[in-house]
A and B are shown apart, each in its own frame.
Chain A
Amino acid sequence: MDTNGKSWSSRKKWIFAAIGSPALIGAWWAFRPEKLFINQKVNEAAPFAADSEPQPIYTGKLEGKAHDTSGRATIYEAGSKRYLRLSDFTTSNGPDVHVLLLRTEDKALEQEIVKGDLDSVELGVLKGNQGDQNYDLPVTADLNQYQAVAIYCERFHAIFGVARLEKF
């Protein structure tokens, strides 16, 4: 009797093990919980020669404020030189329109008409109200602080459009 009971319980153990371990392995395989703590890092090179062409470093889409404005604003870096390029660009034509860099947190980015002084980096008079165009950035322009582009009509203090730039 005694030996019989013993063998029964050990057989039960085997059955539990036979059912339990595949279930455990299955659960592990499905959830792979260790991946929560293990990272798989990669670092592939870009699909182009990084040093021969200007590289985009910041980009953002233009949105209209006082006037409909659309397109993309991208800052490129070519060696030590940086420039802003507007592509697929359209805004309304106007008098004395300039391209500026503003601080990201500048309240003027929310306004259509600016009251008071504007803290900005001047990039030049808008070359055309339509089409692709480039503007050189002053060497001193601090892109850590000035990460917004504004199309600004100085005569009427009107912000035609803005683009908030994000790291490319």
Chain B
Amino acid sequence: MIGKIRAGLAFAVLAAACTFHAPLHAQDSMKQDKMQGDKMMQDDKMVHETKTLFTGKFHGKVHATTGRATVYQEADGKLVLRLKDFKTSNGPDVHVILVATKDAGDDANFLKSNTEKIELGKLKGNEGDQNYEIPARTDLAKFRTVSIYCERFNANFGAAPLEKF
């Protein structure tokens, strides 16, 4: 009799515990909301829209650098880096480069170090929104930091580590 009561109690406790913890282990509530405003497309059709791939914020103290760097993929597959709300100090021979690091400090010296880099072009302006083409087949899993780089003085004005958007 006591055994039965014990078993019953144990079962009740177990059942209560299960109702409490069941959701913790159930992964059945997968959701996949469509982007709102997306045009629904058939699988066999090309999706004609610009995708946002990576984004990151600029930091830099030696030459105060602020703003956001975002990598877009256009409908035709072309990769574009866009600097937005961007501001840095003006300087001679300043370039926008991608470097194969996770991030870059103010003292980063890409010319002397053997860090791989991809040149995107001369900085178009030290203030304002601007776009740069990224060469096709650039491995963005490897080149994960945007640097505003003064080649003449080997100075990293600012860097933005890119993260998946």
Chain A residues with a Cβ under 8 A of chain B: 29-32, 35-36, 38-48, 53-54, 56, 59, 61, 72, 74, 76, 78, 81, 83, 85, 87-88, 92-95, 127-134, 166-168
* A72-B164, A167-B68 given; A47·B131 CB < 8 A: yes
With contacts A41-B126, A129-B27 known, what are 14 further pairs, Cβ within 8 A?
A: A40-B125, A41-B128, A42-B130, A47-B50, A47-B74, A53-B49, A59-B55, A76-B36, A83-B36, A88-B164, A93-B24, A93-B29, A95-B20, A95-B23
Is B82 close to A, CB under 8 A? yes
Query: Which of B30, B49, B128, B165 lies in contact with A42, CB distance below 8 A?
Result: B128
Task: List B contacts of A134 (CB < 8 A).
Answer: 33, 35-36
Bound CA span A59–B162, Å: 13
Task: List B contacts of A36 (CB < 8 A).
Answer: 89-90
Task: List A contacts of B27 (CB < 8 A).
Answer: 93, 129-130
Closest-by-CB residue of A relative to B49 is A53
A-B contact pairs, 7 of them (CB 8 A): A35-B90, A44-B82, A44-B130, A46-B129, A47-B74, A53-B49, A134-B36
* A39-B127, A41-B128, A127-B33 given; A93·B68 CB < 8 A: no
Chain B residues with a Cβ under 8 A of chain A: 20, 23-27, 29-33, 35-37, 49-50, 52, 55, 57, 68, 70, 72, 74, 80, 82, 84-85, 89-92, 124-131, 152, 163-165
Q: Which 4 A-B pairs have the closest CB atoms?
A: A128-B31, A42-B125, A48-B50, A35-B90
Task: List B contacts of A42 (CB < 8 A).
Answer: 124-125, 127-130
Bound CA span A61–B57, Å: 12
Closest-by-CB residue of A relative to B93 is A32
Task: List A contacts of B37 (CB < 8 A).
Answer: 53-54, 78
Task: List A contacts of B82 (CB < 8 A).
Answer: 44, 46-47
Task: List B contacts of A32 (CB < 8 A).
Answer: 91-92
* A54-B35, A134-B36 given; A127·B29 CB < 8 A: yes
